[in-house]
Amino acid sequence: MLILGLTYIQYVAYAVMINTGLFGTVIKQVAEQAPDQLANVDAVVSLLTGFAFADFGIAFVERIFAVLFHIGASVLVFYACRDKKRVWLYPLSIVLHTGMDFVAGLNVFHVIDLAPWALEGIVAVFGLLTFFGAYFLLYKKDVGKETEQSAA
């Protein structure tokens, strides 16, 4: 969230500067003070001009589902460490994480060509199933047992 958020805040600031005409002064200063960095500034401009607002939204939603996935996987690892009978949850969390990264990796290297919404849908399914699976199958049952034991 921090990396994506700061990067996108920077992109929005650059976009505002481009739209208001202030970015031209930045280009002039870079050309005067560090002409070898001018190619980097041009790369930022071409990146931002090809970036749509929907890309921001997709990335934001993807981060939410990724965080839910990681919380769910962490709960699985926690229960695997806490209860020796549930040690199988540790490799399960590794397999789930590998599966999610595998699909994303195949898409990045164009082995499969998914639309951004389809890839985010897969991340959403992995995230929601892992989070709610860990919550309802482990945490909620465990809290219920602790409540019954403390009442007795």
At how many degrees (to 10) do helices 38-49 and 2-20 cross? 90
Q: Which helix (H) or strand (E) holds 152?
A: none
At how many degrees (to 10) do helices 89-108 and 53-82 cross? 160
102-114 tens-digit pLDDT: 998 999 999 999 9
Banded model confidence at residue 4, pLDDT cuts 50, 70, 90? low
Domain boundaries, the chain: 1-51, 53-152
96-150 tens-digit pLDDT: 999 999 998 999 999 999 988 899 999 999 999 999 999 988 877 777 676 666 6
Structure tokens at 26: 């930045």
Answer yes or no: are the C-beta atoms of 14 and 44 closer than 8 Å.
yes
pLDDT at residue 1, as a whole number: 61
Q: What is the largest CA-CA distance in the chain?
A: 77
Answer yes or no: are the C-beta atoms of 17 and 23 closer than 8 Å.
yes
